[in-house]
Amino acid sequence: MKIAGHLFRTPPSRNERRRKGKGQGRDYQWQVVHDPTPEQAFYGRLFRLIDIKRGALVGTWEEGTRWRNIVTGTEVVIENGEMVRRRE
């Protein structure tokens, strides 16, 4: 379809993107369920998996910070400065 001289395409469905392997870790699906900091500034907030991985590499997250995927229920925890996945 053309709109104002530009080709318009509908975005691919979520299943199509998943099959191609693109966009993995880029949805805000990871909710903080345990924030060990006194302020608990991140508790209940949603993050992307890519942000959690990068933060673990540079030491952004406190030891014991825990996220749960709101779709699958998988948990991720920071232990010994590394991201560890847990299936619950």
Which pLDDT tens digit goes with each residue over 7-31? 555 666 666 555 545 556 678 999 9
Nearest to 86 by CA among 36, 48, 39, 33: 33
Other CB atoms within 10 Å distance of the CB of residue 65: 23
pLDDT above 60: residue 3: no
Give 1-6's long-range contacts (Cβ < 8 A, gap of 24+). Answer: none
Query: For residue 7, what pLDDT is reported?
Result: 58
Write down the pTM of the prediction.
0.69
Query: For residue 1, what pLDDT is reported?
Result: 47
Q: Please compute the mean of the pLDDT values over residues 49-62 and round it to a whole number.
A: 92
Query: For residue 26, what pLDDT is reported?
Result: 79
Query: For residue 27, what pLDDT is reported?
Result: 87
